[in-house]
């Protein structure tokens, strides 16, 4: 049972571990993004980074030609709705006796309102606060005795309870999910313990996890409104915010949001629609409650200047550099070309960030960009690279050059071809597992997308032109971005002041701004290597 510290070192880190993803409160992105890719013909923007390419031998053999690309469509989704409003969505797959279940509540951290952390705490209490006649321990024992595990994942737009079982245990699994949402006990002593664990978790992350700490600041800035707080501004609750959420707050969140008309049961695997509907009707039939009123979303404006935040990590050997802005909305015509643009920029190992910032400039092990799919309003795009402290200034400069280049010029033909083909055909690899089918189906429900979305998306990205890609990203302007660097402030304030005034943020003090250092365009970018 391998669970070792470093099972293996890899050539590249998977995007999954890097993606800021769909986020959430105290949790990971719900689905694993794929490492993407595109074109090679990158001309390094500055002369000093141009490394000689190895000479190809005169009579280089050509790579073999392809066979015929398999015809591919996302499998059909069977829909049904119970009288109480609970939606059922099933994707059948019968090659293995497995079933993956996702009970999706269409309320995530965006419903936190004045109590950051409440959705996550309430969701977790369904699992750890006792259920029906079972204590939390008995419930977990029951689930794990099936060889399964129970997960509650809170992201911005949804709370997802996941279980996977062998086919013959479907009814048991449905019973567990039903009890979780209908019979939570919210035991006070369990809540007290949960809160303490969560405060401990966020205190630890603030200190130990540079990406988490940077993200706390990044989303606050990216979703800043002239007044009030945007529902997506909270990446995770701070320890102080968690402390303020009381058990009645969780119960009230539960009453409002955990209702059949606000929920969707997504099932993938070895089961047919009639059997599922019959079981679901029997097990979830008595669940009742109304849908919550819809939250209001005021669209944030893209950054109007380069705002720079330095999250202090004293003694840190690396600096994690993030650059972010806003893209189009998921439902807009610009979406597909924008995704192609992200792929060209840094969506994978054939992206400019990987091929230039890593493979030419040697500044980072990880250099990627990612777009987040959100249900409401403009989608964030985040560039990220981790570099030794001495090179933080150079790395930020490189990321900004790439942002600007996206805004100034269209991708090359080769870049476009690789990016579009990748985004279209990577779907052939994304449906290997029943769990992936369940996640992709659930995602459609959360984001309000039609069943044929994936097929249409593939066709749209394939048709995207270089000009559409350029036009899809009016916010690619290196002078108007949010920059967050997590690193050693004592050393980094000076090189970073080259770009803008530096807001130094203290993660151990609820991300308060400790000091502001004025811009100094003459400051040197590079420092001496420190390790």
Site for another protein in 459-498 (CB under 8 A): 488, 490
| 425 near another protein, judged by CB under 8 A | yes
* Residue among 76, 188, 314, 448 that touches another protein (CB under 8 A): 314
* Residue among 47, 58, 65, 83 that touches another protein (CB under 8 A): 65
Binding letters toward another protein, positions 26-45, x by CB under 8 A: xxx-xxx-xxxxxxx-----
3-state secondary structure of 4: coil
| 215 near another protein, judged by CB under 8 A | no
| 49 near another protein, judged by CB under 8 A | no
| 432 near another protein, judged by CB under 8 A | yes
Q: How many residues bind another protein (CB under 8 A)?
A: 138
Euclidean distance between the first and the last CA atom of the chain, given in angstroms as a whole number: 35
Residue 213 in tokens: 């700490």
Question: According to CB under 8 A, which residues from 374 to 403 bind another protein?
Answer: 386-388
- Distance (Å, rounded) from C-alpha 230 to C-alpha 225? 6
Which lies closer to another protein via its Cβ, residue 386 or residue 393? 386
* Residue among 81, 84, 185, 201 that touches another protein (CB under 8 A): 201
Min separation Cβ 390 and another protein, Å: 11
SS3 string of 250-302? HHHHHHHHCCHHHEEEEEEECCCHHHHHHHHHHHHCCCCCCCCCCCCCCCCCC
For tokens 């400790």, name the residue: 514
Which lies closer to another protein via its Cβ, residue 62 or residue 228? 62
Which lies closer to another protein via its Cβ, residue 372 or residue 439? 439
Min separation Cβ 295 and another protein, Å: 23
- Distance (Å, rounded) from C-alpha 464 to C-alpha 448? 23
- Distance (Å, rounded) from C-alpha 430 to C-alpha 413? 26
| 7 near another protein, judged by CB under 8 A | yes
| 13 near another protein, judged by CB under 8 A | yes
| 528 near another protein, judged by CB under 8 A | no
For tokens 């089961």, name the residue: 271
CA-based nearest residue to 406, from 381, 373, 372: 381
| 9 near another protein, judged by CB under 8 A | yes
- Distance (Å, rounded) from C-alpha 80 to C-alpha 54? 58
For 90, 212, 397, the CA distances from 409, given in Å and listed in that order, are 44, 33, 18
Listed ranges 13-21, 82-90, 302-310, 468-476: which one lies at the site for another protein (CB under 8 A):
13-21
Contact predicate 271/162, CB 8 Å: no
Question: According to CB under 8 A, which residues from 240 to 299 bind another protein?
Answer: none
Alpha-helical regions (H) of 64-187: 118-128, 136-145, 170-182
- Distance (Å, rounded) from C-alpha 468 to C-alpha 265? 37
* Residue among 339, 358, 405, 470 that touches another protein (CB under 8 A): 358
Min separation Cβ 206 and another protein, Å: 8
* Residue among 124, 157, 179, 477 that touches another protein (CB under 8 A): 124
CA-based nearest residue to 492, from 508, 507, 503: 503
Which lies closer to another protein via its Cβ, residue 256 or residue 436? 436
Min separation Cβ 381 and another protein, Å: 19
Question: According to CB under 8 A, which residues from 131 to 190 bind another protein?
Answer: 134, 136-138, 140-151, 153, 162-169, 172-173
């Amino acid at each position: 049972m391998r669970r070792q510290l470093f099972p293996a070192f890899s050539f590249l880190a998977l995007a999954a571990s890097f993606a800021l993803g769909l986020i959430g409160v105290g949790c990971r992105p719900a689905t694993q993004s794929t490492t993407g890719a595109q074109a090679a013909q990158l001309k390094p923007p500055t002369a000093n980074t141009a490394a000689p390419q190895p000479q190809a031998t005169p009579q280089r053999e050509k790579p073999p030609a392809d066979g015929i690309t398999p015809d591919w469509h996302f499998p059909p989704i069977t829909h049904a709705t119970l009288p109480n409003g609970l939606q059922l969505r099933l994707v059948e797959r019968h090659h293995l006796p497995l079933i993956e279940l996702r009970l999706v509540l269409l309320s995530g951290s965006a419903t936190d309102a004045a109590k950051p952390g409440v959705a996550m705490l309430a969701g977790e209490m369904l699992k750890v606060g006792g259920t029906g006649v079972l204590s939390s321990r008995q419930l977990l024992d029951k689930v794990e005795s099936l060889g399964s595990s129970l997960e509650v994942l809170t992201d911005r737009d949804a709370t997802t309870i996941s279980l996977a079982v062998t086919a013959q245990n479907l009814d048991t699994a449905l019973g567990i999910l039903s009890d979780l949402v209908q019979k939570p006990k919210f035991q006070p002593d369990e809540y007290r313990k949960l809160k303490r664990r969560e405060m401990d978790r966020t205190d630890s992350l603030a200190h130990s996890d540079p990406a988490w700490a940077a993200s706390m600041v990044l989303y606050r800035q990216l979703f800043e409104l002239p007044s009030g707080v945007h529902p997506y501004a909270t990446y995770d609750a701070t320890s102080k915010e968690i402390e303020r959420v009381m058990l009645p707050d969780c119960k009230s969140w539960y009453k409002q949001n955990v209702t059949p008309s606000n929920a969707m049961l997504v099932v993938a695997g070895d089961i047919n629609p009639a059997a599922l509907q019959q079981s679901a009707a029997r097990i979830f039939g008595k669940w009742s409650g109304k849908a919550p009123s819809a939250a209001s979303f005021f669209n944030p404006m893209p950054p109007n200047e380069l705002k720079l935040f330095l999250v202090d990590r004293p003694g840190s050997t690396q600096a994690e550099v993030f650059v972010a802005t806003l893209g189009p909305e998921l439902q807009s015509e610009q979406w597909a070309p924008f995704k192609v643009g992200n792929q060209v920029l840094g969506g994978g190992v054939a992206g400019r960030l990987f091929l230039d910032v890593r493979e030419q400039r040697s500044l980072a092990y990880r250099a990627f960009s990612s777009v987040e799919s959100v249900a409401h309003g403009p989608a964030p795009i985040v560039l990220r690279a981790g570099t030794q402290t001495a090179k933080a200034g150079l790395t930020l400069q490189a990321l900004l050059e790439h942002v600007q280049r996206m805004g100034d010029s269209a991708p090359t033909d080769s870049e476009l071809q690789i990016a579009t083909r990748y985004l279209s055909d990577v779907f052939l690899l994304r449906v290997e597992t029943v769990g992936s089918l369940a996640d992709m189906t659930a995602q459609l429900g959360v984001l309000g997308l039609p069943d044929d979305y994936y097929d249409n998306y593939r066709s749209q990205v394939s048709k995207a032109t270089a000009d559409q890609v350029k036009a899809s990203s009016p916010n690619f302007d290196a002078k108007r971005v949010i920059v967050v660097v997590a690193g050693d402030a004592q050393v980094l304030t000076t090189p970073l002041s080259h770009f803008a005034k530096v807001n130094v943020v203290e993660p151990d003090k609820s991300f308060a701004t400790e000091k502001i250092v004025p811009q100094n365009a003459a400051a040197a970018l590079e420092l001496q290597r420190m390790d």
